[in-house]
Structure 1
Amino acid sequence: MKLSLAPLFCCLLIPTAWADDSGGLQKGEAPPPPHAIDDGYRGTENARTMTVEQAKEMHDGATISLRGNLIDGSGGDKYKFRDKTGEIDTIIPKSVFDGRTVEPDNMISINGSLDKKMTPPVVRVDHIQK
C-alpha cells in the first residue's frame, strides 16, 4: 500500500515545481475605457470601496480601498490604477502580487494607504484581490 501512494504523492507535487511565479502586470489587451467600467452589484463590498476621485481628497495615511484596473507599469513597483472617476499612481511591491499575474482588462480590488507627501499622491498597496 505504501508503494502505491508514493507515486501518486509525487505526481501531485510535480506541477507545483513547474509553476511560473513571476507575477506582476502582464501587458496584453488594452483596459476597457473609463466609461465602460462597471463591475455590477457587489453587496456589502460597495460600502467599503471608494473611487479614485474620493481617495485623492482623503488625508495623508488614510486607508484606501479601490476597484478598477492596473493600466500601466512604469518599471519597478510603480503602476497606474484607473477606475470610472480617474487615475492614480500606485506603489505595489512584487511580494503583494504573490505570483499572480494581472492584465489591464482584469477588474481588481486594491487596499493600501494614501501617501500625500509624494507629488502626485500615491497609494501604497498592501493587498490585491482579483
Structure 2
Amino acid sequence: MKSWVIILLTAFAINTQAMAATGGGFKNDESAPPQHKQDSGQHGTEDTHENNVAKIKHTQSVNWVTVQGYIIKKNGEDSYTFRDKTGTMETHIPATAWDGQEITPADLVSLSGQTQKKGKDIILNAKYVRKQ
C-alpha cells in the first residue's frame, strides 16, 4: 500500500514540474498594434486614476502601479519592453507573474507591480500580468 502512495506522489510531482516548465510566458510571434492606434487600454480597472508610462517615468518615488498596454519585446531572461500610448519602459517580469498565460505583442495586458529607480530610469517590477 505504501509503495502505491509513493508511486502516485512521484508521478504527480513529475507531472506538475513538466506542466510548470511549459506553461505561459511571452511568445514573440505577433506584432503589436501601431502606437498611434492604441486606445487608453481601460477595460474596467479598479485603480482610482489612470497610470501610464509617461507618468511613471516622471515620478522619482517607489510606487505600486497598474498599467495597460503591450509587451512588445523580450530583452533578457526576465526583462521586457512594455509600451502604451504614451511611451515605452523596461519591465522585469518573473516567471511566476505569467500565471500560465501565453502573451504575444498583439495582446493587451495589464501589469501590476512596483516601480524602481535604476540609474536615471524607472523600471516596473511586475508581480501580476493579466491578458485583457
Residue type of the alignment partner of 1:95: T
Q: Distance in 2 between matches of 1:115 and 1:70?
A: 18
Residue type of the alignment partner of 1:94: A
Deviation of 1:49 after TM superposition, in Å, equals 3.2
> What residue in structure 2 maps to residue 104 of structure 1?
105
Q: TM-score, normalised by structure 1?
A: 0.76
Q: Structure 2 vs 1, CA of residues 75 and 117 (structure 1 numbering), >3 Å: closer, same or farther? A: closer
Deviation of 1:107 after TM superposition, in Å, equals 0.3
- Cα RMSD of the aligned pairs, angstroms, is 2.3
> What residue in structure 2 maps to residue 73 of structure 1?
74
> What residue in structure 2 maps to residue 4 of structure 1?
none
Query: Given that residues 80 and 90 in structure 1 are in contact (C-alpha distance below 8 angstroms), is that contact kept between their aligned partners in structure 2?
Result: yes
Matched, 1:117 2:111: no
Structure 1 residues not aligned, in runs of 5+: 1-15
Q: Distance in 1 between matches of 2:67 and 2:74?
A: 17
Q: Between Structure 1 and Structure 2, how many residues are aligned?
A: 115
Equivalent residue of 1:54, what SS?
Answer: helix
Deviation of 1:84 after TM superposition, in Å, equals 0.2
- Identical counterparts, % of pairs: 30
Matched, 1:83 2:94: no
Q: Structure 2 vs 1, CA of residues 119 and 25 (structure 1 numbering), >3 Å: closer, same or farther? A: farther
> What residue in structure 2 maps to residue 50 of structure 1?
51
Deviation of 1:24 after TM superposition, in Å, equals 0.9
> What residue in structure 2 maps to residue 24 of structure 1?
25
Query: Given that residues 90 and 124 in structure 1 are in contact (C-alpha distance below 8 angstroms), is that contact kept between their aligned partners in structure 2?
Result: yes
Structure 2 residues not aligned, in runs of 5+: 1-14
Q: TM-score, normalised by structure 2?
A: 0.75
Deviation of 1:116 after TM superposition, in Å, equals 1.0
